Amino acid sequence: MSAVNEKKVAALEAVKYVKSGMTVGLGTGSTAFFMIEAIGEMVESGMQIKAVATSNETEKLATKLGIDVITLAEAKRLDVTIDGADEVDEDFQLIKGGGGALLREKIVAHNSDLNIIITDSSKSVSKLGKFKLPIETIPFATNLIIKELEAMNLRPVQRMNGDADYKTDENNDIVDIDIWDTNITLTDLEQQLKTIPGIVETGLFLTTTNLVIIGKGEEAIVKKR
């Protein structure tokens, strides 16, 4: 079965955890797209929820589908968030941010009671790092951060959008780094990166995930922490 169909399988399994009356975090990306569509159909059939979007793109899609989108400040706390990942390992650790929404995604995950990650089978890995790790940086500091990351042998590359610098919804930059050969633990790497002034957030999601749903063929594999 194709990756697209596996994404749908995972998404349809995940929305079973959404009940009327809940406040729901809506992730960003190609897998989350199928989840949002499914929730839109549930809302059209009478389910009442409020949702917080992790990106402008997600907010536009959810609004178009009739989902009541509110701010995180209005929600205060989320019952469940469903989002995708670029990689997920057996310890429920993730790399996210391929779609550039890692900052809002991590904030929403932090403020959710239940975090569900949905992926196709290609995103399930034994070791994180084949997918480059996104780092969100303040434009004022990006060039100097890149030099510091180069000194750490992380081979940073600033993400581009055509000939222009890629910009997040918060108007920040993204720098993608290579962590495959790093000898330090992911926890230590996260802490080390966060000490560099101007790095707003990293795409390492190490402790936020409660449930992983992987589409594999026509089956949804559910893994609980």
**DSSP letter assigned to residue 85:** -
Catalytic residue among 87, 105, 190, 201: 105
Is 190 a known active-site residue?
no
Q: Look at strands 160-161 and 112-120 and give their pairing.
A: unpaired
Strands (E), 84-143: 87-88, 94-95, 112-120, 133-137
Q: Is 17 exposed, middle or buried (0-12, 13-18, 19+ CB in 10 A)?
A: middle
- Residue at 111: amino acid letter: N
Strand pairing report for 157-158 and 173-177: antiparallel
- Active-site residues: which are they? 105
